[in-house]
A = this chain, B = another copy of it.
Amino acid sequence: MPMVNIRVTREGVTAEQKQALIAGATQLLVDVLGKNPATTFVIIDEVETDNWGVAGQSVTALRAQAGDMQK
């Protein structure tokens, strides 16, 4: 009965992509640890780019810098 929490920046993740993350994370726990998918939970948190920082800067600021391609 595992719990997976995926945190990503809120940048247009679609319902289909969310479904793919849920299915994939659940299958991973089944494949690696033999967990029961029926009691495997996946929660996706989408975080505003102002609220996520890397290297001391918000992702909003990083995205604004020329040529930033990092996801």
Question: Interface residues, chain A, CB within 8 Å of chain B?
Answer: 1-9, 13, 15, 17-29, 31-47, 50-61, 70-71
The interface residues of chain A, by DSSP majority, are classed as mixed
Copies of this chain, how many?
6
* Bound-complex Cα distance A71 to B36 (A): 6
What residues of B have a CB within 8 angstroms of the CB of A27 in the complex?
56
Given A6-B4, A26-B56: A15 touches B70 (CB 8 Å cut-off) = no
* Bound-complex Cα distance A45 to B18 (A): 18
Given A22-B53, A28-B25, A56-B27: A3 touches B43 (CB 8 Å cut-off) = yes
Chain B nearest Cβ from A60, distance in angstroms = 7
